[in-house]
Amino acid sequence: EKLATVLAFDLGAGSGRALIGELLPEGPDGAPKLAVTEIHRFPNHAIAVNGHLHWDILRLLHELKAAIRKAFQEGYRPQTFGIDTWGVDFGLLDAGGELLGNPYHYRDPQTEGVAEELIARFGKESLYEQGGLQFMPFNTINQLFAMSKAASPKLAAADTLLLTPDLLAYFLTGKKVCEFTMATTTQLYRPKEQAWNTELMEKLGIPSRLFLEPIHPGRTIGPLTPEVCEELDVPAIEAVAVGTHDTESAVAAVPAKEGEPFAYLVCGTWSLLGTELAQPLVTPEAMALDFSNEGGVGGTYQLLKNIMGLWILQECKREWEEQGRDVSYAELVALAERAEPFRSLINPDDPTFYAPAGMVDRIRAYCRETAQPVPESMGETARCVLESLALRYRQALEQMEELTGHAYEGLHMVGGGIQNKLLCRLTADAIGRRVWTGPVEASAIGNMLMQLVALGQCSNLQVARRLVAASFPVEAYEPSGAAEWDRAYEAFKQLAAR
């Protein structure tokens, strides 16, 4: 017998998935368990059109619908569903509620140089004081300001802005909401005041009418529309506003020890290294070290650093495949394992690695410019990327300790990237501390947790995290090779200071 059944959609920049979560009553150990089954998985591609990069949003809607139908056809009876996606992106609706154009991909070139222009105009301190975010080229503010500067007719015609997960929920329920965790990725929200920054919007020519009052995770949005129910032949299940920003859902599913500060690394296309706080930490020190304050679930704030992540390797792999050199991640990791350690390093957060295409050559050029051996083989390239990421994690962890004054015992790694066991091992070695990994599907699980909160099955985030700890195994990695990693770290810091 099940206490509840929920459906989670977790959309990343490279792929999306639908998972069923079933809450099972207390077992012999006295703890309820969450059983998770993946029912659908689909690719998500950036589509280039006449110089712009877009998401194929209707294709994503199609996949969501297919998954809802499949869930019922396979005999599941989800009561609710929740959607989480990557941060920052959005669609614009006209006054009639129709989508104006294809949403841009956050790597669209229109944001080039925009953050720099904002900094020149308003000052870094002032912008950080207001928005509390790291100056990432993808922050929503940059996209909207770029559109405003280009006198975009879409922006002029827009009535409502819906961030990607809210947009997809709207397509399915007809209800327009703005979920809080996504709202805090825009850089147009003031975390300290808990309000939209309408003054800044006005100065930038971004209409403040576009923004709805944020609602917190755990609230219901509404049932599937009658048309969708008829099309899919399913009952009117309810959408829940979960931690709709994938990073925040993933953090909710970190099985950390209760009552103690903890450090985490959400590992996917991006790597997000951070810690959970009760209040945003918007200080000149946090700005200088480039940390973000993102709204989390359960009223938390996440002090975290966006790190370029496995994107760099994903792009290399894509490029090799385009050249007919098909390689699986498992093969790539095996090649990296056999490659010479510390042959060459990069700073993964160098802006040169942000844009798509030509990644292998950009890594080579970086190594050449910094007088290091140039990676030639796939194995050398992958080794260079993975070791460099691990060293960047160490730097971010140490910087976070400076900011919070807390010494973290180890690092919790969650998300798809932990399937790369070499990365987990290198990370433990680089930070010289224990690494705990799991769950892999952290975002989808965190998404489910907020649905269980909405259904009254979990009273709060602490109870929800207990459920994760009781339901999913955690693997531990012990550090080794301290001396050689310390040497590599010194070299890395020189590169990162370039």
Nearest approach, Cβ of 248 to ligand LRH (angstroms)?
Answer: 8
Cis before 439? omega within 30: yes
Q: Is 303:400 a contact under the CB 8 Å cutoff?
A: yes
- CA–CA dist 408, 399 (Å, integer): 12
Work out the angle between the directed axes of helices 482-496 and 421-431 (0-180°, nearest 10).
Answer: 90
CB of 182 to ligand LRH, least distance (A): 9
The angle subtended at Cα 31 by Cα 26 and Cα 36, nearest 5°, is: 80
CB of 487 to ligand LRH, least distance (A): 32
Q: Which residue is nearest to ligand LRH (CB)?
A: 87
d(CA 201, CA 250): 30
Smallest separation (angstroms) from ligand LRH to the CB of 243: 11
Of 64-72, 235-243, 262-270, 422-430: span binding ligand LRH (CB under 6 A): 262-270
| Residue 268 interacts with ligand LRH (CB under 6 A): yes or no | yes
CB atoms within 10 A of CB 459: 10
Residue 333's region, left for phi above 0, alpha for psi from -120 to 50, else beta, is alpha
Look at the block and give the residue holding tokens 């160490």: 394
Window 129 to 168, contacts with ligand LRH (CB under 6 A):
138
The answer to whether residue 180 forms part of the interface with ligand LRH (CB under 6 A) is no
Nearer to ligand LRH, 4 or 253 (CB): 253
Closer to ligand LRH by Cβ: residue 437 or 443: 443
**26 DSSP 8-state letter:** P
> What's the closest the beta carbon of residue 306 comes to ligand LRH, in angstroms?
6
Output 55 or 366, the one with its CB closest to ligand LRH.
55
Stretch that binds ligand LRH, among 14-22, 171-179, 263-271, 352-360 (CB under 6 A): 263-271
Task: Show the binding pattern over residues 373-392: x = contacts ligand LRH (CB under 6 A), - = does not.
Answer: --------------------
**Residue whose CB is less far from ligand LRH, 88 or 92:** 88
> Judged by CB, which is closer to ligand LRH: 111, or 152?
111
CA distance 69 to 230: 11
User: Among candidates 248, 292, 280, which has minimal Cα distance to 399?
Assistant: 292
Nearest approach in angstroms of CB 141 to ligand LRH is 13
* Least distance (Å) between residue 437 CB and ligand LRH: 18
Site for ligand LRH in 71-110 (CB under 6 A): 86-88, 106
Span interacting with ligand LRH, options 114-122, 232-240, 266-274, 317-325, rule CB under 6 A: 266-274
Q: How far is the CB of 116 from ligand LRH (least distance, A)?
A: 19
Residue 74's H or E segment, with its range, is none
Q: How far apart are CA 278 and CA 255, in angstroms?
A: 18
Q: Are 293 and 302 in contact (CB under 8 A)?
A: yes
Q: Are 40 and 18 in contact (CB under 8 A)?
A: yes
Q: What does the alpha-carbon distance between residue 427 and residue 387 come to, in Å, rounded to a whole number?
A: 8
CB-based contact 160:210 (threshold 8 Å): yes
Contacts of 12 (CB under 8 A, 6+ apart): 44, 85, 86, 246, 268, 269, 416, 443
**Residue 88 vs 468, nearer CB to ligand LRH:** 88
Q: How far apart are CA 86 and CA 89, in angstroms?
A: 8
- Minimum CB distance to ligand LRH, residue 415 (Å): 9
Size of the site for ligand LRH (CB under 6 A): 15
Minimum separation from the CB atom of position 184 to ligand LRH (A): 10
Which residue, 12 or 255, has its beta carbon nearer to ligand LRH? 12
Active site residue 246: yes
Site string for ligand LRH, 235-254 (x = CB under 6 A): ----------xxx-------
Burial 317-356 (b: 16+ CB within 10 A, else e): bebbeeeeeeeeeeebbebbbebeebbbbbbbbbeebbee
Nearer to ligand LRH among residue 237 and residue 286 (C-beta)? 286
Catalytic residue among 246, 290, 326, 429: 246
Residue from 189, 211, 270, 485 binding ligand LRH (CB under 6 A): 270
Residue owning tokens 């294809």: 102
Options 123-131, 199-207, 229-237, 267-275: segment touching ligand LRH (CB under 6 A):
267-275
Return the DSSP state at 460: S
Of 80, 184, 185, 244, which one interacts with ligand LRH (CB under 6 A)?
185
User: Is residue 457 within the footprint of ligand LRH (CB under 6 A)?
Assistant: no
Q: What would the x/- binding string for ligand LRH be over residues 291 to 330, using CB under 6 A? A: ---------------x------------------------
Q: How far apart are CA 388 and CA 204, in angstroms?
A: 37
245 versus 362: smaller Cβ distance to ligand LRH: 245
Rounded to 5°, angle at Cα 319 from 317 and 321: 70
Residues 2-61 that bind ligand LRH (CB under 6 A): 12
Residue 85 backbone zone (phi > 0: left; psi -120 to 50: alpha; other: beta): beta
- Cβ-based nearer residue to ligand LRH, 297 or 367: 297
Question: For the CA atoms of the chain, what is the radius of gyration?
Answer: 22
| Centroid of chain to Cα 177 | 20
Which are the catalytic amino acids?
246
Positions in the binding site for ligand LRH (CB under 6 A): 12, 86-88, 106, 138, 185, 245-247, 268-270, 272, 306
